[in-house]
Chain A
């Protein structure tokens, strides 16, 4: 299994649609999880951290499934401005080791 794996997409969805991305990770002992957003030709920015109980921020919901080793991001009522690449990020190993980034899933929201 690749360390952090995402479907690269692209996901092309109409405005107002609900879209979900999944990401799998290789180490069952991983401790922290994040979703980042990257706009074209810009730097990645933290979208939300993912907690064991799942968490919600407006139209965005992140969930963690430790048993199956995946995290998900759900976007409801998609806006044109949600068009971006979404990166799944996992702290795979203990101690002072870098976060591992997935290659990203590209989302295009169409009018």
Chain B
């Protein structure tokens, strides 16, 4: 069974703080993703990575950075948290199937509140 874990379920931070969200997957997947989800806006891709030390911008990368030093771990960093980054953050991983991205498996999510 694929398992994707996230470091925190709930997090409260103050404006201007540096925030680290960690994600670990145990299925040796090449690809990992960070999304945020807000009511009415659906899932929006922040960054993804298809290999160690590789990263690609998604649809809304501004205000975020990522790190992938090991295959199983993908970190999302908010350099200086702002109130408009209050959201549910979801990590996912997937492998490739015949050269195409296969099913994505999600972690349980981190609900971040920035005060």
Contacts and interface: CB of A to CB of B under 8 A. Distances in A.
Interface of A: 31-32, 34, 41-46, 49, 87, 89, 91, 94-99, 101-104
Nearest to B111: A41
A98 B90 contact: no
- What range describes how many residues of B lie at the interface? 20 to 34
Contact of B100 (A45, A95, A104): A95
Interface stretch (B13-21, B64-72, B74-82, B102-110): B102-110
Given A43-B90, A44-B43, A104-B42, A99 B109 contact: no
Interface centre among A44, A94, A103 (most CB of B within 10 A): A44
Nearest to A43: B106
A103 B41 contact: yes
Contact of B42 (A49, A96, A101): A101
A98 B90 CA distance: 14
Contacts of B96: 96
A97 B101 contact: yes
Interface centre among A44, A46, A98 (most CB of B within 10 A): A98
Interface string B46-61: 0010100000001000
A98 B108 contact: no
Contacts of B97: 32
A98 B43 CA distance: 12
Given A45-B106, A99-B94, 5 more contacts: A32-B100, A91-B101, A96-B99, A98-B58, A101-B42
Contacts of A44: 43, 90, 106
B74 to A, nearest CB: 13
A96 B33 CA distance: 12
